[in-house]
Structure 1
Amino acid sequence: MEPRIVIVGFDSAQILDVTGPLEVFSTASRFLRIPGYETEIVSTDGGQVRSTSGLEFASAPIDAVVGPVDTLVVAGGRDMEIAAADAKLVDGIRRIAGESRRVTSVCSGAFLLAAAGLLDGRRATTHWAECELLARRYPEVSVEPDAIYVHDGNVWTSAGVTAGIDLALALVADDHGRSAAATVARRLVVYLRRSGGQQQFSALLAAQSIDDEPIRDLLEWLPDHLTDDLSIPVMAAHAHLSERQFSRRFKTEVGTTPAEHVEALRLAHACRLLETTLSPVELVARESGFGTPETMNRVFRRRLSTTPSDHRHHFGPA
């Protein structure tokens, strides 16, 4: 039988939260030798639904969903407080979830899952800007603010907007293996590289929003010098600041310590090498600036809850 995918939208839903997963499942159905995914979009009362971008899409009433469902996908959007207060929508999500093999959300759709009680006692994530609110409003949910997606039992939650594509690719991989998901990713010309534990807000993007010129220049210089001595004295001298000035201004501008930022850059570089090359782990550790595999292994375990070898196994070249 064709796996049935039900995507829940609503007025002011984020259009990519709906169409991102929809396109992944549609592409998988067209280009993989599998039973095609049967997709449908529903909303509270059905009809035309207007997204945050102004684009409207058709939907069926949520009450029309009867029988078993393979995967429930709940989109996020702008007016989540209004959506979470929609008793008919929340009740419909709760009912469908009870008949679904998997329950998922994209971006702030996690608020609707939480309102339905489906995240109680579970780990979950949402858009980085909404994680604090989700944790405060639903204290029974263990919010992981820095994950692309979180898989806890049969419930999957993902971060903002394009992370819904990462989530849907992970679901295809869960169903049919990594090579099948890679085929879909190639067709969509997107990466099949972001694991659930990778950070939502990449350290490589930090320099784009920095006003402090010495700090911005340093951030642009760092990625090409990961194997150098990147101690506080060296970085402070590069920025032409005293060590105390440097540490204070770096934390103010970047939101993290210099050492934490350098570690994040080295981790991201190591992940790329593990994902795109067959270089030995020892070489990856050296070229990423970790020096030894043991040091790199400790960072992977602390930051990603995995090991370099496991990361390559799941996301490396076939």
Structure 2
Amino acid sequence: MKRIKIGLVVFPGFQLLDIAGPRDAFGEVTVLSRGECEYEMLTVGTTRGTVQSSSGLTVTPDRTIFDVCPEFDTIIVPGGLGIFDTYDDPALSEWLRQQYRRVRRLCAICNGLFALGPAGLLDNRVVTTHWMDVPRLSATFPKARIEPDHIYVNDGSIYTTAGVTAGIDLALALIEEDFGKAMALDVAKYLIVYLRRAGGQSQFSPLLESQAAPGSQTQALQHYILDNLQAEHTVASLAQRVHMSARNLARTFIKECGVTPITFLSNARIDAARRYLESTDLSLREIARQCGFDGTDALRRVFARRLQINPTEYRERFRTRNAAPAGRTPRDDEAKKPASKKTQTAERGVSA
């Protein structure tokens, strides 16, 4: 029998699914291999006594970071809102540093990777996390190299994932490393999940968070862009509209919005296309035309590059039950809303 020992760290306020999901995936290996392969899993608390998860359920850890622990092959640190009260605990940081020198893999799910930062384990590492935590991660640990759209990433022996259910994606990847693709696929089938999910986090997070200050020239230009996506815009043409030089517009736009005017335009076109796919029966050709793409091939290329999924698959996955007929678009409904809402179609965490 091949046995692999895994330590699951638990702290007050941890996300229960971050350990329950991987634990169930690992547990199926024993069942499906008829006992030939096994993961031995132990919970390790950052405090003594029972540990309450963010959902209110409690776990009694098998060990704590203050106890003598067995030699783990893999350590997994879950996420959860409680991580922000725990991640800079010196005792946890020292324990993680020691484990890093001993284990084959050190994994963090969702914002659990914040615990790796004070231990010095994120410096110059390629990592990912939940899209909502990317700005905070970047500000807190600027030496980390963040890939905000990935479901999971491994850089050497450090493995990091996006939010919550991405822990199952990670578990399947580890099972494939340990026991082969066939076993990982069998576990995925049993759990009724994809072995490898198509697309990245951009499928789930808002795309345009680059809103300018109310009443500013930049906001007026954003409204103009959102209302005229089909036009052939350039930095020069946009600058002329607000009576600025192209250089001054680019500088002002980046300062106020965090992206260039052309990046904002690109993001806006993708976001509009997504809304059409989710809520109308419009053809891909018509969606491409209304959003300013140079035909359906261009629309497909952009979706593949930015969202790692094609438009047809996106529509099948996210289409609403009450899609508008082809003669009506999401813009028709938006036109009834106050103008100040027009830029609230944004999606976080994705750059050009």
More displaced stretch, 54-63 vs 64-73: 64-73
Assess, with a 3 A threshold, how the Cα gap between structure 1 residues 174 and 5 changes in structure 2: closer, same or farther: same
Q: Does 1:235 align with 2:290?
A: yes
State the match for 2:43 in structure 1. Answer: 41
1:106 to 101, 106, 109: 109
Quick one: distance in 2 between partners of 1:28 and 1:2? 11
Assess, with a 3 A threshold, how the Cα gap between structure 1 residues 95 and 133 changes in structure 2: closer, same or farther: same
Q: Is the 8 A contact 2:30 2:38 kept in 1?
A: yes
Shift of 1:66: 3.1
Shift of 1:40: 0.4
Assess, with a 3 A threshold, how the Cα gap between structure 1 residues 221 and 44 changes in structure 2: closer, same or farther: closer
Q: Does 1:80 align with 2:83?
A: yes
Quick one: distance in 1 between partners of 2:117 and 2:281? 39
State the match for 1:220 in structure 2. Answer: 278
1:189 to 192, 216, 222: 192
Count, aligned residues: 245
Q: Please list every run of 5 or more consecutive structure 1 residues that lacks an aligned counterpart in the other structure.
A: 207-211, 237-242, 247-257, 274-302, 304-318
Shift of 1:92: 1.5
1:168-205 Cα distance to aligned partner (Å, 9 max, x none): 1000011111111011111212221326xx31131799
Q: Does 1:150 align with 2:153?
A: yes
Q: Is the 8 A contact 1:103 1:154 kept in 2?
A: yes
Quick one: distance in 2 between partners of 1:141 and 1:222? 40
Q: Does 1:180 align with 2:183?
A: yes
State the match for 2:229 in structure 1. Answer: none
State the match for 2:67 in structure 1. Answer: 64
Quick one: distance in 2 between partners of 1:63 and 1:203? 39
Shift of 1:26: 1.1
Q: Is the 8 A contact 2:54 2:80 kept in 1?
A: yes
Q: Is the 8 A contact 1:4 1:71 kept in 2?
A: yes
What amino acid is aligned across from residue 127 of structure 2 in structure 1?
A
Question: What percentage of aligned pairs have identical amino acids?
Answer: 36
More displaced stretch, 264-273 vs 47-56: 264-273
Assess, with a 3 A threshold, how the Cα gap between structure 1 residues 56 and 152 changes in structure 2: closer, same or farther: same
1 or 2, which has the higher helix percentage? 1
Quick one: distance in 1 between partners of 2:149 and 2:166? 12
Give TM-score, length-normalised by structure 2: 0.62
Shift of 1:103: 0.8
Shift of 1:46: 3.5
Quick one: distance in 2 between partners of 1:98 and 1:223? 55
Shift of 1:116: 1.3
Quick one: distance in 2 between partners of 1:85 and 1:217? 40
State the match for 1:135 in structure 2. Answer: 138
State the match for 1:89 in structure 2. Answer: 92
2:52 to 41, 50, 53: 50
Q: Is the 8 A contact 1:44 1:61 kept in 2?
A: yes
Q: Is the 8 A contact 1:73 1:106 kept in 2?
A: yes
State the match for 2:27 in structure 1. Answer: 26
1:258-280 Cα distance to aligned partner (Å, 9 max, x none): 8986556985138969xxxxxxx
State the match for 1:6 in structure 2. Answer: 7
Shift of 1:157: 0.3
Q: Give 1 or 2 for the bigger CA radius of gyration.
A: 2
What amino acid is aligned across from residue 225 of structure 1 in structure 2?
S
What amino acid is aligned across from residue 40 of structure 1 in structure 2?
L
Q: Is the 8 A contact 1:65 1:96 kept in 2?
A: no
- Match of 1:24, SS state, is helix
Q: Is the 8 A contact 2:303 2:310 kept in 1?
A: no
Q: CA RMSD in A?
A: 3.4
Q: Does 1:268 align with 2:309?
A: yes
Quick one: distance in 2 between partners of 1:266 and 1:144? 13
What amino acid is aligned across from residue 151 of structure 1 in structure 2?
N
Give TM-score, length-normalised by structure 1: 0.68
What amino acid is aligned across from residue 58 of structure 2 in structure 1?
E
1:162 to 147, 160, 165: 165
Quick one: distance in 2 between partners of 1:112 and 1:262? 34
What amino acid is aligned across from residue 290 of structure 2 in structure 1?
M
Quick one: distance in 2 between partners of 1:25 and 1:87? 30
Q: Is the 8 A contact 2:202 2:307 kept in 1?
A: no
- Match of 2:106, SS state, is strand
Shift of 1:217: 6.2
Shift of 1:149: 0.3
Q: Is the 8 A contact 1:67 1:99 kept in 2?
A: no
